Amino acid sequence: MSIAMDRACAEEIIPARPTPPKDTPTLAGMLLRPGGISNLIASYPAFWYKARYCDFRVGFSSNGRGILVNEPEAIRKILVSEAEHFPKEENQLAILKPLLGNGLLTTEGQVWRRNRKLAAPIFQHSSIKDFAPLFVRAAERSVSLSLENSGPFSIDKEMTRLTLQIIGEAVLDADLDDSAESISDAVTRTLDKFPIIFLATAFLPNKVRNRVVEAIVSPTRRQLDPYARSIVAQAERQESETTLIARLMGAAKREDGEGLTATQVRDEVATFLLAGHETTATTMSWAWYLLTLHPEWQERLHDEVRDVAGERPLTAEDVPSLLLTRAVIDETLRLYPVVANLMRRADKEVQLLDDLTVPAGTTVLVSPWLLHRHERHWREPHRFDPTRFMGEEAANRPRHTYLPFGGGPRICIGAGFAIMEAVLILATYMQKTRVRVLNADRVMPQARIVLRPNTSLQAVVTPRQPDIRR
Ligand code: HEM
C-alpha cells in the first residue's frame, strides 16, 4: 500500500486512500497484497468505485460471497422499503454479539422493535439539546488539556477520552475519565484482531468461527463488564431520569410494569458505551487530519464561530448557525465514514432493480466507503470540499448516496446526538485553537470494523490568543 499522499497539484492535496487494485480481490491476492486482509478497503478494485452493482467472492464459505450494491434505488429497497427482508448479515452479528450481547445494535425482530421504540424518544432532538452544555463543558476541558501539552501528543487518544467522558455522563452519569485508557485499549485490542476474525468468518464453518470469535472477544467483554455492572447499579439507585439509561429503564417499566432485566440493561449499556464513543472519536480524529491538510478551513471555521458566539461558550441554539462547521463534519464523514461497510442478507428473493434480482440467502454489501467516493454520485469524489454539503448542491443530491449513519429503520439512533456533539467539539476547538497533525503525511485509512487511521495522530494544538490557557 502506498502511504504517500496523492498530490494532484501543489495546492490541491488529496486526502489519503489506498490505491485500488485493478482486479477483484482473490484469496491469494488479499493474502499477498500488503494490508489486504487487515484493511478490507485496500482490496476494493478500481471498478467497484464505478459499478452499479457487482458480485464479490472472498474465501471458501458462503459467508464470503455476495453482491456489492452502489445504486441508490436498490439501496433504498435494502435499507428502507424491503428492510424486513434484509436482516443484518450473520457474520457481522457473530462478531458483535459476544461483546454487546442483545443490545439495540445486535438484535432483530420483536426484541429490537420494542427496544428501539423505548429508546427513540430519548434520542429526539428536543432531548438531545439537554446534553449540549455537557458537550461544550467537556470540549472546553479537552481544549485546556490539549493546550497543556508542551509538545506533540496523541490527539486521537484525547478524542477517545473526551467522547468516553461525554457518553459516560450522558448515558450513564458515570465518570469514566480514570477508566478511559483501559476501555479504549480493550476496544483497540479487539479491533486489531479483526484480520483473524475476518478470516474466521470468510473461511470457517459457523461453529468453529463462533469459537474463534468468542476466544478473541471474551477478554474485552470481561474487561467491560465491571463498568457496565457498576453503571447499572448506579442507574438503579437514581431517582431522577437524567441519563439515557435511567430514561430507558423508566420507559420500559412504564410500558409493561416489569422493565428491563439486568442482562438487558447491561447489553444496552455496553452498546451505548461502545457505539456511542469510538465512532465520534474517530470522526473527530479524521476531522483533525483533514483540517491539517486544509488549514485555510480552520480560519473559515474560526471566523464562523467568532461571528456566531464571540468568545462565550457555545450553546445548542448556536448549532443551526454553524453551517461551515457542520459541513466540515459532513464532509469528514463522507471521506472517512467510520462504519465503512453495511452487510445484510436477503431472507427471500427480492427484485432490487430491473436488471438485478437477488435470490434468498444472498449477502448484500452496501459500502458507504465506496458509495461516498462513487464517480457517478460525486464530483471530484476524493477531494475535501465541505461546500458540497451546502446550498443547492446539497439540496439537489439524490437520496441514499450518503449514508454515514446507515438508513431506514436501522439508521443510527445516535445520529443527532453525534452530529451535535461533533459540531460543538469542533467549534469549541476552532474558537480557541489551531490544530496541526504532524504525521499527516503517514496517515492511511484502515477498515477494521470501524474505519480508523492506521497510526496514532501526533498533534500540536496552539492557542488563538496568548491568554487562552486556564
Ligand atoms: C459519528 C458518529 C456515529 C456514526 C458514524 C454512527 C454510525 C452508525 C451506523 C452506520 C449504524 C447502522 C449500522 C447498520 O445498519 O448496520 C449505527 C447504529 C447504531 N448506533 Fe451509531 N454512529 C455514531 C454515533 C452513535 C452514538 C453517539 C450513539 C449512541 C449514543 C450510537 C448508537 C447506535 C446504536 C444503538 C445503533 C443501532 C441502532 C439500531 O439498530 O436500531 N451511534 N451507527
Q: How confident is the model at residue 329 (pLDDT cuts 50, 70, 90)?
A: very high
Give the span between the Cα atoms of 64 and 60, in whole angstroms. Answer: 7
Half-sphere exposure of 151 (CA within 13 A, CB side): 0
Ligand 1 center to 232 CA (angstroms): 21
Ligand 1 centroid distance, CA of 261 (Å): 23
Q: Is 310 inside any structural domain?
A: yes
**Can you tell me which residue has the cell 450473520?**
90
Task: Give percent of the chain with pLDDT exceeding 70.
Answer: 87
Could you tell me if the CB of 419 is within 6 A of ligand 1?
no
Q: Is there an atom of ligand 1 within 6 Å of 18 CB?
A: no
Answer for the pair 37, 201: CB distance below 8 angstroms, yes or no: no
CA 470 to centroid of ligand 1, rounded, Å: 35
412 Cα–ligand 1 center, Å: 4
Q: Does 21 map to a domain?
A: no
Q: Which residues contact 421 (CB under 8 A, 6 or more apart)?
A: 131, 135, 163, 166, 280
Closest by alpha carbon to 342, among 203, 205, 451, 193? 451
Query: How far, in Å, from the CA of 431 to the mean position of ligand 1?
Result: 28
What is the full DSSP assignment across 326-360?
A: HHHHHHHHHHS-SS--EEEE-SS-EEEETTEEEPT
To the nearest whole percent, how much of the chain has pLDDT over 90? 56
Q: Is 243 in the pocket of ligand 1 (CB under 6 A)?
A: no
In angstroms, what is the span from residue 147 Cα to ligand 1's centroid?
A: 31
pLDDT tens sequence across 206-260: 788 788 888 888 888 787 777 777 777 777 776 667 677 787 788 777 877 777 7
**Which residues in 193-203 are b (16+ Cβ under 10 Å) and which e?**
bbbebbbbbbb
Residue 200 lies in a domain: yes
Query: Nine-digit cell at 299?
Result: 480560519
Are 330 and 33 in contact by the 8 Å Cβ rule? The answer is: no
Spatial neighbors of 200 by CB under 8 A, at least 6 apart, are 208, 209, 212, 213
Pick the residue whose CA is nearest to atom 37 on ligand 1. 105
Lowest mean pLDDT among 9-13, 256-260, 327-331: 9-13
Q: Give whole-number Cα distances, 363 to 11, 60, 87, 197, 434, in Å.
A: 42, 14, 10, 18, 45
Nearest to 451 by CA among 379, 368, 384: 368
Q: How far apart are the first and last CA of the chain?
A: 43
3-state secondary structure of 214: helix
Report which ligand 1 atom has the smallest distance to the Cα of 338: 5
CA 137 centroid distance within chain: 23
Q: Could you tell me which residue, 386 or 204, shows the higher pLDDT? A: 386
Residue at 13 is within a domain: no
> Pick the residue with more confidence: 115 or 413?
413
Give 148 Cα–ligand 1 centroid separation in angstroms. Answer: 33
For the Cβ of 104 lying below 6 angstroms from any atom of ligand 1, the answer is yes
Looking at the DSSP bridge assignments, the partners of residue 447 are: 451
What pLDDT shows up at residue 253? Answer: 78
State which ligand 1 atom lies nearest to the alpha carbon of 411: 12
pLDDT for 36 equals 55
Residue 314 belongs to domain spanning: 27-463
Residue 4 within any structural domain of the chain? no
Q: State residue 467's pLDDT score.
A: 42
Q: Is residue 418 within 6 Å of ligand 1 at its C-beta? A: yes
List own/partner pairs for 265-269 with CB under 8 A and 24 or more apart. Answer: 265/232, 265/235, 266/101, 266/225, 266/228, 266/229, 266/232, 267/100, 267/101, 267/102, 267/103, 267/106, 268/103, 268/104, 268/115, 268/119, 269/171, 269/172, 269/228, 269/231, 269/232, 269/245
Point out the least confidently predicted range of 191-205, 371-385, 416-430, 437-451: 191-205
Q: Which amino acid is present at 437?
A: V
Q: Are 358 and 349 in contact (CB under 8 A)?
A: yes
Q: How many domains does the chain have?
A: 1
* Buried/exposed 9-45: b ≥16 CB within 10 Å, e otherwise: eeeebbbbbbebbeebbebeebeebebbbbbbbbbbb
416 lines ligand 1 (CB under 6 A): no
CATH number at residue 148: 1.10.630.10
Which of 65-74, 191-200, 218-227 bottoms out in mean pLDDT, i.e. has the lowest?
Answer: 191-200
* C-beta of 301 in contact with ligand 1 (< 6 A): no
